[in-house]
Structure formats: C-alpha cells, structure tokens
C-alpha cells in the first residue's frame, strides 16, 4: 500500500550543489519517490538541475516540504531527514 508523508524543513543555511547531490544520493537509497515543495513549486529529487534551481529560490528563514510517496514512505522520510539535515 502506498503512503504519502511530508516534513517541513526550515532553511537555516544556504543550500549548495553539494547539498543537492547529497539529497539526490539519499533519494536513490529509498524505495519511494522524494519531492521537495515550496509555494506551489514541486520538484523531484532525482534531477540535479531541478534541485539546484529549487534551492536558488530559497533564502534563510524560508521553509519547504520533503514529500515522500511509496510503500516505505515514513521510514524513508526519517532516513532522508537524518541524512540531509544541516
């Protein structure tokens, strides 16, 4: 059965290309789909150019959502959150 889970992330530092790579690598470890969303913009975490473009819209104090969809969504969200935390 598919689940959808989300977690709000507060931006405390500038997101870099290295952070985008880290998120992409973490997303490849899970059996679910990872998306990032803010203000009506949603990107899939599998594309580096999409992630970098998304991060360029963020500034300190902003928030965005990690959205995970799949059979192991809750477990995957916890893993992603831990591995990609600033």
Give residue-wise pLDDT tens across range 1-47: 799 999 999 999 999 999 999 999 999 989 999 999 999 999 999 99
Pair 20, 82: CB distance under 8 Å? no
Q: What is the pTM of this model?
A: 0.91
Domain range enclosing 72: 3-84
What's the number of domains the chain is made of? 1
CATH at 73: 3.30.1340.10
Interatomic CA distance for residues 23 and 36, integer angstroms? 10
pLDDT in tens, 68-82: 999 999 999 999 998
């Amino acid at each position: 059965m598919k689940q959808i889970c989300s977690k709000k992330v507060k931006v405390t530092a500038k997101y870099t290309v290295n952070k985008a790579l880290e998120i992409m690598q973490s997303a490849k470890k899970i059996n679910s789909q990872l998306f990032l969303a803010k203000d009506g913009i949603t990107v899939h975490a599998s594309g580096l150019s999409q992630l970098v473009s998304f991060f360029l819209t963020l500034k300190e104090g902003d928030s965005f959502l990690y959205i995970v969809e799949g059979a192991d969504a809750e477990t995957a969200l916890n893993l992603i959150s831990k591995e990609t935390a600033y």
